[in-house]
Every structure is written in C-alpha cells, then in structure tokens.
Amino acid sequence: MKKNKNILIVGASGGIGTELLYQSIENKNTNVYALVRKIGSLDKLQKKHQNLHPIYLDLEDKNYKKKLENSLINVKQIELCIFNAGYLHLNTFLNLNSKEIEKSFQINAFAPLYTAQVLLPKMLKKGGHIVQISTMGAIQGSVKFSGLTAYSGSKSVMCNLTELFAEEHKDTLVRMNCLCLGAVQTEMLKKAFPDFQAIVKPKEMAQFILHFAFESHKFINGKIIPVSLSTP
Ligand SMILES: NC(=O)c1ccc[n+]([C@@H]2O[C@H](COP(=O)([O-])OP(=O)(O)OC[C@H]3O[C@@H](n4cnc5c(N)ncnc54)[C@H](OP(=O)(O)O)[C@@H]3O)[C@@H](O)[C@H]2O)c1
C-alpha cells in the first residue's frame, strides 16, 4: 500500500492558497496540515475531509515558531511544505512607516525562515521539499513597479534563503526551491494593479505549484525559478 504523504500548506486561504488546499485534500494519499489565521474557518471542510488538519495561527504572532512547533509536535515526518502566505503593502518608498515595513518582513521573510527551522528536523530522516512562493519582483533584473518596496524587498529574502539553505543541506535529502510568480488573478493582484487582468487563474497556478512540489525535488535544489509569461 502507498504510504501517505504529510504536507504543510502555509497560507491555505485566499486566491492561490484555497486552490492549493482543495486540490491537495482531494488526494487521499496525503495528510494536509493547513495553516490559516481565521480560527474555525476550515472546521466545516474538515468534517468532509479526514485528511485535513487545520492549524489556526497568525504569522504575525510573536511566538509563531513555538506555536507552530507545538501544533506539529505529534507529526514526526513532513514530506512537503508550500509556504504560500504573503502580504502586499502598496506605498511609496519615503512614505513607508515602520509598522508596514515590519509587517511585510515578518510575514514574507521571517515566517518562512522560522517555518523551515521547525520543519527541518521532520525532514532530515526521510527527505522533504520546501517550496517558497515568492514574486517576480524579487528577482534581480526583473521589471520593477513603484510602491512595492516593502513587498518585493521582503519577498527577495525568500530567494536568498533558498540558495543558502540548499547549500547548507546539500548532503541531506532535504530540498528547498523558490517559485517567483508572475501575475495571477487574485485579490492581491487587484490591490496592486486594479486595472490589470492576468491570464493565469489561481486554480491553474495551484496545479502547477503542486506538480512542482511533488516532482521537482528529484532534479532541482536551491533554485530561484521565475514562473511568468512576461518577457524578459
Ligand atoms: N497573485 C499574484 O499575482 C502573485 C504574484 C506573485 C506572487 N504571488 C504570491 O503568491 C502567494 C499567494 O498570493 P495570492 O495572490 O493568492 O494572495 P492572497 O489571496 O492575498 O493570499 C495571501 C495568503 O497569505 C495569507 N496571510 C497573509 N497574512 C497572513 C498572516 N498574518 N498570517 C497567516 N496568513 C497570512 C492569507 O491569509 P488570509 O486569507 O487570512 O488573508 C492568504 O492565505 C503570495 O505569497 C503572493 O505573494 C502572487
């Protein structure tokens, strides 16, 4: 019999996150640990899907790392993590205040790092894959947009973290890769670019991310990968 895989999705709500959640719980060979911040929001879904295990936690919580550790205390092995959560604050450089900058870095940079620290011991024995979801704006030389300093700046930490993590763990079976997404039609995109209509839908992007997360670790490690239709 095929062994069940344990997956953690951080940010399993909203545009791409909801799709990641729905598509992964349909796979009966997975146990899905879904981190969302709205307490009780997954209770109804959990009744229909016994392989769904909600974790109600805010990435801004001061004790985020400890609380995540406690939530996963009985889960000895995790094969896959998709860090999908993200926070976009739109403001011009000089007008950014410390609250907005700190929130951006807490959610987009510190939380992915602490999450990986919690997961690593659960992946070392049998292997695992951590997929960071970043943005095209975090890639050096990509087209930049005004007002996205706090967002793209904090998301770029995910890219560097991926390369450094992969170097440090290259002799283990743990892999980390970073997908830098282009435009996907979600609320976040509407907030940043109200008049822009993206070709890619959240459902399609979630399909791609899940396929990548399940398959690519056999061939790819420590890579920052643009997932975008734009040129260059
Ligand atoms: N859409 C695009 O065009 C695009 C482009 C490049 C990169 N991305 C990246 O793709 C990912 C998904 O984005 P999306 O477009 O689907 O946007 P979204 O709907 O705004 O989703 C953001 C996710 O992050 C979660 N989140 C934010 N702050 C949180 C907190 N303090 N604690 C826990 N969870 C928190 C949200 O939870 P709630 O539902 O509770 O708010 C939601 O699950 C993000 O990392 C984003 O940066 C998107």
129-187 pLDDT, tens digit each: 999 999 999 999 999 999 999 999 999 999 999 999 999 999 999 999 999 999 999 99
Q: Determine whether the shortest distance from the Cβ of 102 to ligand 1 is under 6 A.
A: no
CATH number at residue 118: 3.40.50.720
pLDDT at site 180: 98
- 216 within a domain of the structure (yes/no): yes
Cα–Cα distance for residue pair 109/80, rounded to 1 Å: 19
pLDDT at site 175: 98
The structural domain count of the chain equals 1
pLDDT at site 120: 98
Q: Determine whether the shortest distance from the Cβ of 21 to ligand 1 is under 6 A.
A: no
- 223 within a domain of the structure (yes/no): yes
- 70 within a domain of the structure (yes/no): yes
At 230, the pLDDT band (50, 70, 90 cuts) reads confident
What does the angle CA 196 – CA 200 – CA 201 come to, to the nearest 5 degrees? Answer: 100
- 149 within a domain of the structure (yes/no): yes
- 162 within a domain of the structure (yes/no): yes
pLDDT at site 2: 59
pLDDT tens profile 37-79:
999 999 999 999 999 999 999 999 999 999 999 999 999 999 9
Q: Give the full edge-to-edge strand order of the sheet including 5-10.
A: 52-56, 30-36, 5-10, 80-83, 128-135, 174-181, 224-227
- 87 within a domain of the structure (yes/no): yes
Gap from CA of 48 to ligand 1 centroid (Å):
25
Domain range holding 203? Answer: 5-227
The answer to whether the CB of 138 falls within 8 A of the CB of 156 is: yes
pLDDT tens profile 88-107:
999 999 999 999 999 999 99
The answer to whether the CB of 180 falls within 8 A of the CB of 138 is: yes
- 232 within a domain of the structure (yes/no): no
3-state helix vs strand vs coil in the chain, percent to 5:
45, 20, 40
Give the ligand 1 atom nearest the CA of 83: 45
Q: Determine whether the shortest distance from the Cβ of 179 to ligand 1 is under 6 A.
A: no
Q: Determine whether the shortest distance from the Cβ of 190 to ligand 1 is under 6 A.
A: no
- 99 within a domain of the structure (yes/no): yes
Using only C-alpha atoms, what is the Rg of the chain? 17
Gap from CA of 125 to ligand 1 centroid (Å):
31
Q: Among 13, 103, 131, 178, which residue has the most ligand 1 atoms within 8 Å of its CB, making it the best to mutate?
A: 13
Q: Determine whether the shortest distance from the Cβ of 84 to ligand 1 is under 6 A.
A: yes
Q: Determine whether the shortest distance from the Cβ of 137 to ligand 1 is under 6 A.
A: no
Cα–Cα distance for residue pair 185/103, rounded to 1 Å: 24
